[in-house]
Structure 1
């Protein structure tokens, strides 16, 4: 360590950073994932229910859902840029996180001022696309930061807290945004979301990745030694490393599994507001209150138990239970039509599904983090997420054709079929083998970069 860097670290010794403080790590990622959930609560749940309440067709609602989901499939375009370029004095991923937060605020303000949104669907879809783009942008940076600073033995617990926080944010903003939407108007509802994101932006501004770094560009600080070692200096090395790790057998199996699994979840999430409003006669307020409460229960459960269960019993065993539970309960929902008139029955399904959904996401994304090679963490994790979001778009687009050509029973049961395929692929995934393969890649890479040591 150079004397200059050492002076800065000593000066800041009383100011903890993410890399050396477990509580701050958890707090930081809880806040950032909460910020991600704020716009998603309205874009993927509140606005579709509002559109259904106002007579929009399933095809139009699905079109809006596809427009909002599309940017999440473009994340791989920005991920290599984040691995290659950054402002190291502020950290590897933190500058990108702050930029993403700022973009979310501005894009929500743009969405708020779409004129007559129900009769201006093209502009509404464009605005939804822009908000989702910055949500995806911030997500890439946050996930890259998480892989960099969260130790492996804390990743499952961190994923539980992160996903629980996001689910809680979705539920809170769904019910709050829908209430404001009905009591006041669309503009006020979305502006409140922008204000909430603006407050959360203070977290990444005041919490650094590592000691000695700058808080903002005009303050004092220097790049950390670890950040310099992790930072790649060319796109060719990024893509070469990425191709190498992604071509591993278990990387490919996981990618296909997450494509189907996440696509299935977006399918049912987009279908449920249409089903409850159009088929069951609920209002959008009824739907938002019940579904947001169900998501809140799932989110709290995820924060309290999700990571603990994964740590205690393992990722694959718990995912087997979650997938089986989703198949069983959805089959019950689909074929017990005589109970559809019971609010308790539908609400019970929403609660069970959201608990299983949250817990399964904790397991799936903990696996994704564990399967990543740290030197290309943002790019590899984002590639997994890009594939999953292509699945989200693909399966959401199936709602129109399936609902128009089949009964509601078949439309609902289609979700159980999708999850069954993902469950089948899980049986072929060997996580330990993937970790071992990455360790071998790291050794090979280290020896290539240090030929003298390799010669010795």
Structure 2
């Protein structure tokens, strides 16, 4: 009897080393992976635009650069089905892809750092930035897909708070460190140094496993987990049919539209903030990175420790409505006090409140996207929602280039409120319970179909 109990205890201890079996391990692993995701975002989307602005590069050129490096994130819908359809199941459904994309991200960063004169070679900077961003997007798909696969539904809101908070902190530290390094040791050396941080973090997916029984490395013992086998799409027809079935559901469609609208709003601000502070207010890129990093790190920690709890308390839809309403009040108030923009307190307060709002919105929107995703095509459907967000960010960067030439700064801020209003309207009509009931019906129908073969 004692021997039997001891064996049970040993089996339980073994299970703790797998993501599906250990909540604490999930929080730690996904925190590290999302922090790694934030590195290319902090450098490409924030540090470099602020550096270009400080060096007098025209706003239209900076907007073109931002649009180019965000564009690969719109290609995720092409890459995600590949990950859902093809993988090496003995090492997990998404883990092999995460390891591969992280290795490619490291090589892309090395190549990006080889641009000798980035200020006079904007075309080359954009091209290599596009490639780095492509691998970053690939890594993001794998991590998101694995999160949908292994995190239980009742833990997704809190897990998203931890994960998105980690990503925000990662990108903030990358912005802060990247800016300091570019200013002190030069562009090439700074980017090369950042690439070695990325390769160091590849140790995380190398030494964890998704499910019991899977291989740690190709040469170690292990086999595909039965749950992974059942969830894996076996042919393109089945995958595309499943994607079509779930995408045409009203709530899926409305969420995709909502993500695009608020993504466009976010894209305008990602492009606007470094240009507004550096070229309009006369800040240096270091001042911008310090303030923005501080604001986003604060927002990240609040998101990690409070975000998920608040979402659980209010619910994802209600939380999104509260956040977007609060954000619109902040922006409207800021646009109406333009005569006080020389006040450090006013500018700092706006950046901090905007960062907190967009962070909490992203946590809630991602939790909602995970909730509405069908685990059979987790990477593809979730990526569809994220792709719409990223497509919106690219559109926002382009729209800002046009708006900046037409309107004064106060009117630009007021103009962005239209996106929040449209976003609020579309989010309102999403029916979560009905959507989940339909997905459960799909699952039961799929099981009946399989058993009837």
In the superposition, the TM-score normalised over structure 2's length comes to: 0.96
- Name the counterpart of 2:29: 28
* 1:418 counterpart residue number: 419
Shift of 1:443: 1.5
1:296-335 equivalent positions in 2, closer than 5 A: 296-335=297-336
Q: TM-score, normalised by structure 1?
A: 0.95
Where do residues 2-21 of structure 1 align in structure 2 (5 Å cutoff)?
13=14, 16-21=17-22
- Correspondence for 1:355: 356
Task: Provide the residue aligned with 2:204 in structure 1.
Answer: 203
Counterparts of 1:233-382 in structure 2, within 5 Å, are: 233-382=234-383
Contact 2:16 2:22 in 1 (8 A): no
Determine the C-alpha separation between the residues in 1 that align with 2:265 and 2:416: 6
Q: How many residue pairs end up in the alignment?
A: 445
- Is residue 263–residue 388 contact of structure 2 (8 Å, CA) maintained in 1? no
Q: What are the Cα deviations for residues 329-360 of structure 1, in whole angstroms up to 9, with x where unaligned? A: 01112221111001111111111111111111
Q: Could you say which residue in structure 1 is the equivalent of 2:136?
A: 135
Question: C-alpha offsets along residues 218-268 of structure 1, whole Å, 9 cap, x if unaligned?
Answer: 111111111111111101100000000000011111110000111211211
CA change 1:443–1:403 in 2 (3 A) is: same
2:449 is aligned to 448
CA displacement, residues 385-405 of structure 1 (integer Å, 9 cap, x when unaligned) = 112211111111011110101
Q: Given the alignment of the two structures, is residue 120 of structure 1 paired with residue 121 of structure 2, yes or no?
A: yes
Q: Name structure 1 gaps, 5 residues minimum.
A: 1-8
SS of equivalent to 1:180: helix
Deviations 1:400-451 (A, max 9, x none): 1101011111112222221121012111111111111111111122222223
Q: Secondary structure at the match of 1:198?
A: helix
**Paired position in structure 1 for 2:3:** none
Q: Residues 44-55 of structure 1: matches in 2 within 5 Å?
A: 44-55=45-56
> Pairwise CA RMSD of aligned residues?
1.5
Deviation of 1:144 after TM superposition, in Å, equals 0.8
Secondary structure of the corresponding residue to residue 302 of structure 2: helix
Matched residue, 1:63:
64
Instruction: Decide which moves more: 440-449 or 352-361.
Output: 440-449
Instruction: Structure 2 unaligned segments of length 5 or more: list them.
Output: 1-9
**Distance in 2 between the 1:116 and 1:215 partners?**
42
Q: Is the 8 A contact 1:250 1:429 kept in 2?
A: yes
Contact 1:12 1:212 survives alignment (8 Å): no
Structure 1, 424-433 or 55-64: larger mean CA deviation: 424-433
Contact 1:12 1:211 in 2 (8 A): no
Q: Following the alignment from structure 2 to structure 1, what is the Cα–Cα distance between the partners of residues 219 and 447?
A: 35
